[in-house]
Structure 1
């Protein structure tokens, strides 16, 4: 089995290309695998700090959050669910390109100002996990935790298999998640972040936030790769 040292030596000999434009990268190689030119696609834009949706300028809470505040304190994301970022997520989730998780985590880590004390992730039901073989949110969370130097713990278990949330309205998503999750043990940290790959209505993480807050957690943040507006009800 090749050691990390040998693998690194081989990588140094091979040409590396930008994940987006496919042009050759110059050394030192960026951890994200994206050249300086294409990095502009991932430049931060003004967002509501609470819900993460785009706003005309950076604000702590948008009007919708003031009327209907989410359970979490703050949401950090890389960008909206659109190319080229959406392609990264798709490659990880559906093409089993597991190395994309660390590259996505690099992009996300750049956004986080004050990391939570513990990072966790949205769980899969065991049946779906067996069929897929991995949890993309867990892969991102564990890579992100290493970069931020904080522990990553599995704090939830999905006790009921549910249809996929994609394509459901906000009301249908909430009904779909009823009694679907439980805590996976004792919670000791007072500031926890939940990692998800794509956040739309936020119904899943809202439900998980409620479990943490009921267990005594004081503050919950959301770390996601893509934030996209919810579909019409």
Structure 2
């Protein structure tokens, strides 16, 4: 059960309300529909343990070292890629539910999984960026949807890692949906589609957050813009990445 935490209540009181509600009516796991064990969880313990894993200790927390991933991203303009999972079930289902059907429970689950990966990354002693930014949506599309999932993920990441969140990117052109387009079509659509706030001074290392990376065309366009403004190292952090099959 999701409890609205926007009300003016102490954090401890909100947690107490969640725990009490959980005892009365446990939430259903978002994958198997059995009761969850914790008031703040969206998955039961069995489904959490069964989630697909990526071999981060083998690839040094950079998916660009995995041929299955790297071969699908032609000439990435970013230096590092960190994703919770390949674009597969059950993440594919949750991403679509959040993105197209405003499923807040699925969105909260994905943010939890995203932050858990970042916590693991940090505890492994990996270098953190100086700040975080996110892939923007065109203003008209964001008004229609009501939110930008990349922005929500970036906010969660900034809170988790205690890093600045930069709201400096704008999408200047409204484009047709990218789903189903080839790499060249995506690249052609995205040319000159993003801009940076004027007179902005950027740090040397940034993390760019998005929900899914498919061909890398969107991230590459933004990375080229950032590098023209002096950024030297760019990490791309996403929930999922499409890999070659």
Instruction: Tell me the TM-score range normalised by the shorter chain.
Output: 0.7 to 0.9
Q: Structure 1 residues 43 and 50 mapped into 2: Cα distance closer, same or farther (>3 Å)?
A: closer
Q: State the partner residue of 1:37.
A: 46
Task: Find runs of 4+ consecutive structure 1 residues off by over 6 angstroms.
Answer: none
CA offset at residue 32 of structure 1? 4.9
Q: 1:26 aligns with which of 37, 41, 55?
A: 37
TM-score (norm 2): 0.80
Instruction: Compare the two structures and name the one with the higher helix fraction.
Output: 2
Structure 1: runs of 5 or more not aligned: 56-60
* Whole-angstrom distance in 2 between the partners of 1:210 and 1:171: 16
Q: State the partner residue of 2:98.
A: 92
Q: State the partner residue of 1:229.
A: 243
Assess if the C-alpha contact under 8 Å between 1:106 and 1:147 holds in 2. no
Q: 1:190 aligns with which of 192, 204, 207?
A: 204
Structure 2 counterparts to residues 171-182 of structure 1, below 5 A: 171-182=184-195
Query: What is the DSSP-based 3-state SS (H/G/I as helix, E as strand, rest coil) of the residue aligned with 1:51?
Result: helix
Match status 1:104 vs 2:117: no
Equivalent residue pairs, number: 222
Residues 103-112 or 78-87, more deviating: 103-112
Structure 2 counterparts to residues 43-82 of structure 1, below 5 A: 43-46=52-55, 49-51=62-64, 55=68, 69-82=75-88
Q: Structure 1 residues 195 and 158 mapped into 2: Cα distance closer, same or farther (>3 Å)?
A: same
